[in-house]
Amino acid sequence: MEIFWFVVLMVMLGIYVILDGYDFGAGIVHLFFAKTEEEKKAVTNAIGPFWDANEVWLIASGGVLFFAFPTLYASAFSGFYLPLMLVLWLLIFRAVGLELRGQVHHSMWEAIWDKAFGIASLLLALFFGAALGNVVRGVNLGMVKNGVSTQEAHYFFLPLWNPTFDPLAEQQGIIDWFTLLLGLVAVVTLTIHGANWVILKTSTTLNQRLKKVIFKLNFVLLALVVTSACLWHYVKPFPLNNLQTHYWLWIFPVIGAIGLIGLFRIKTFKKDSTGFLLSSMFIFGSFATTIASMFPNLLPSTNGVNPSLTVQNVAAHEYGLSVGLYWFIIAAILVVIYFIIQFRVFKGKMDDVGYGEH
């Protein structure tokens, strides 16, 4: 049962990254590329009816993590306490920026909340990418010093950074050169993804400019992906052992590669949905490749004293996992119905929605 719940959790997180990822990307587009009031409204109209529903996937993923893998939940939420608090405040400011901008029609008021929305979106993309980098790199479980575990085997705590900025240091930080690199990958990826969503859901003059931006950013993304893949081997030697053992897992990097390479033809696409499909493929393929390469580890240990947290050693009792399956089926049916209704109601272009105008 723990394998089933692992797959469920990863699928939910993947859906969250794709759906709320275009929200973050749209916020970055709003911050850097939307120049006129018409273009800014186009961006907020594109995500207005969707962003709060998309964030539910993050809450639901946290619930599944708490239910199915309580030891991992306790370990991660204590060890990553500082960045989690920052993410919480950034989510608040991003939502407040969307909701309050249209309450007062004054240039200074609108500029303040525009910046809050855009900067929070940018930092959220950066922090979520860095969070993935921390999981890939691993943490010092048990707070080992000089070969001696000073805490319980599953406990750790990380400051925002360490003085050396080195991912291989014994006393690590949330931010080092490796996690920051993956944060930059996330920022560029979600900017492209958000731009594709704006193109899909609006028909403004911004769209042609965004296609040029996507084309240029795709070169940056390709360089960052190649660099991060090479440095991954330095931080974690032989990271792709699982893919070499189970050849069918190569379908995930192939999907990601198709998405990335296909985006270089963004200027020639006749359907606005093609770009969004390709950026979704890249996100899915990259995320799935990372998870597949780490399995069965959920949070690797960087020391040789305490074992990594795996799917097997952090799972809840078999009986609880079995009972939860019935409730999950009911919840999944309700969620599918909800999203079918939502996308039918808000299908097509969103230029005339007028989100945030009162």
Q: What's residue 14's pLDDT?
A: 95
CB-CB contact of 49 with 201 (8 Å): no
Residue 238 Rama label (left phi>0; alpha psi -120 to 50; beta):
left
Q: What's residue 37's pLDDT?
A: 86
CA dist 194 → 27, 111, 292, 298 (Å): 8, 21, 26, 28
Burial of residue 170, with CB atoms counted within 10 A of its CB: 0-12 exposed, 13-18 middle, 19 or more buried? middle
CB-CB contact of 75 with 307 (8 Å): no
Q: What's residue 358's pLDDT?
A: 47
How many angstroms separate the CA atoms of 38 and 57, rounded? 30
How many CA atoms are closer than 13 Å to the CA of 52, on its beta-carbon side? 9
Q: What's residue 1's pLDDT?
A: 84
CA dist 202 → 24, 228, 318 (Å): 17, 33, 48
The two structure tokens encoding residue 266: 């963004």
- Count of H-run helices and E-run strands, the chain: 12, 4
CA 46 to mean position of chain CA atoms: 19
Nearest one of 261, 263, 260, 256 to 285, comparing CA atoms:
256
Asked if residue 296 has a cis previous peptide bond (ω within 30° of 0), the answer is yes
Q: What's residue 304's pLDDT?
A: 84
How many angstroms separate the CA atoms of 313 and 316, rounded? 9
Nearest one of 188, 187, 164, 185 to 176, comparing CA atoms:
164
- Alpha-helix residue ranges (DSSP H) falling in 80-176: 81-100, 107-137
Rounded to 10 deg, the angle between the 81-100 and 51-68 helix axes is 160
SS3 content of the chain, % helix, strand, coil (to 5): 70, 5, 25
Q: pLDDT 10s per residue in the chain (358 long)?
A: 889 999 999 999 999 999 999 999 999 999 999 888 888 988 988 998 888 889 889 999 999 999 999 999 999 999 999 889 999 999 999 988 888 887 888 888 888 998 999 999 999 999 999 999 999 999 999 888 888 888 888 899 988 888 888 888 878 889 999 999 999 999 999 999 999 999 999 988 899 999 999 999 999 999 999 999 999 988 888 788 888 888 899 999 999 999 999 999 999 998 999 999 999 999 999 999 999 999 999 999 988 889 999 999 999 888 888 888 888 899 889 988 988 898 888 888 887 776 665 4
Q: What's residue 266's pLDDT?
A: 93
The two structure tokens encoding residue 231: 């440095």
